[in-house]
A and B are shown apart, each in its own frame.
Chain A
Amino acid sequence: MAVARAKIKSIGAAQSPLLGAAMFSPAVLYILLLVAGPFFLAIFYAFSDARIGNSEMHFVGLENFRSILQSPSFRVAVRNSFIFTICSQIVVLVGAHILAIALEDKFRGRGLIRFLILLPWVAPIALGAIGWKWILDSIYSVITWVLVAVHIYKPFSAPMWLGEPRLAITSVLLVHSWRMLPFATVILLAGRTAIPKDIPEAAAVDGAGFWSTEFQIIVPMMRPIMSVAVLFGLIFTFTDMTVVYILTAGGPFDSTQTLPSLAFALGIQGSDLAAGAAISLFLVPVLVIIAYFMLRVAHRAEVT
């Protein structure tokens, strides 16, 4: 084995360094074209007055940032981005933990239920979001229909799930959570099953009930894998705009805009590329912090 590996090394790397470079060039190319390119382009645009359909471009300094910071929509978007990301992570973590407990033990139909729970993750996000748009529709909503049918609301006086700022934010947040739940459940389930059975059994014999076993033994032992789920969830939610875009398109009155959806609305739909680029740059510091913690978790997993 070692001999063979040494041989491959001598043929590949030592005799022809070009081959090694050729092997990893697709990865480099991919990152340069699809990550670094747009990133530097965005920085470039953010300091310009670039507009769609206008080939002229001038350097305008910090003008874009100044106008963004003064716009009320931007402040709402920043607040929403953090509310969405943090609240949906809390909902997802609690929900996924409960689901993982329920799905850990064997029961009839467990495979089917696991499949169904995974479905929102596998299905295209647009499809799921459109489904929710109908569920929450102002006229055809099944939720409203049920609430009217059981006489909680009178016809035509039921809340507009996507039409009132507070309800709209909550709806978007919950649909986000629904979307993230399967992924977190799968990760937490894997984390739970990785804990040797006799640890919770020892806790039971030691006199711990359900809650103290869960919070003093299981959760601390799952902390590394939970942080993986949370960090991924943070990135997915913070950078996502599909759910907002499909459900409310940022409305009513920009009350559900998040940073990515506002960047899209201004930069692409509103043709103000420079403003869109400047807004999306505000995502960078947050993502850098999250990425730092991700690398730390990954490094710790490698070491231990």
Chain B
Amino acid sequence: MSGHENTPEDDVQRDDPMIAAEWALGLLEGEELLAARGKYAADPQFAWRKEWWDGWFAPLTDAMPGAEPGEHVWDGIAARIAAQRPGGAADAPAAPAANVVELQARVRRWQWAAGLSSMAAAVALAWLALAPSPVVVAPALPVAAAAPLVATVPIGETGLRLDVTYIPESERMVVGAVGLKHDGVHDHELWLVPKDGSALQSLGVVAPGEVRSMTLPAAVTAKLGDGAALVLTREPIGGKPEGQEAGPVVAKGAFTRV
């Protein structure tokens, strides 16, 4: 999000502890912010330093006057917790339900790691719970935590964007379209542009205003990597019709490993 900078800023080394400090202060945005979140999840040293700054800055909050929230706030919390309690909503067969619960736990972890809002998590969970096809969960292999890939796809000059996070360990991708609105006439479809020049792979229609989590087929994950590009096309409702050309590209982005 930073424009060109004429003033040299290299007089202070911008190492990880410095990025942790900037993040703790809340200065980061855009890709820098996503990168910091990813590093937090993957690098204990960085996480420690971020929390070190958080701890030191915390006393400053004492200067912020307290305020009484509305009573509905607690009701909302209690209701959300009751709804998310395992076993609180299960008329699905036992085995798939267990899978969904396992997935929910994973997604929750990722949401947490990625620092997305729990409202987003709730949306992703609701979507998972309603997914018509049985959700296949990869066996929980002891995989070394691979660094997530992140991409920001800015939408024109609107200041809005898609936040795309791919977590290699889980083969899941989280697409956040918070702030985007449905125009009622179009859908937008997200495509992976493989680096090897092979055909574009559809990553599905974007759900405006939501954060969705999806499992990617192996054919797609094989093409995913640092530098893989994403494009967003405008399509009729429902996405690109079979046998027709894809619509115009309205936004682009690329994955970076964090």
Tell whether A and B belong to one assembly: no
Q: Which residues of A does B touch, CB under 8 Å?
A: none
The chain B residues found within 8 Å of chain A, CB to CB, are none
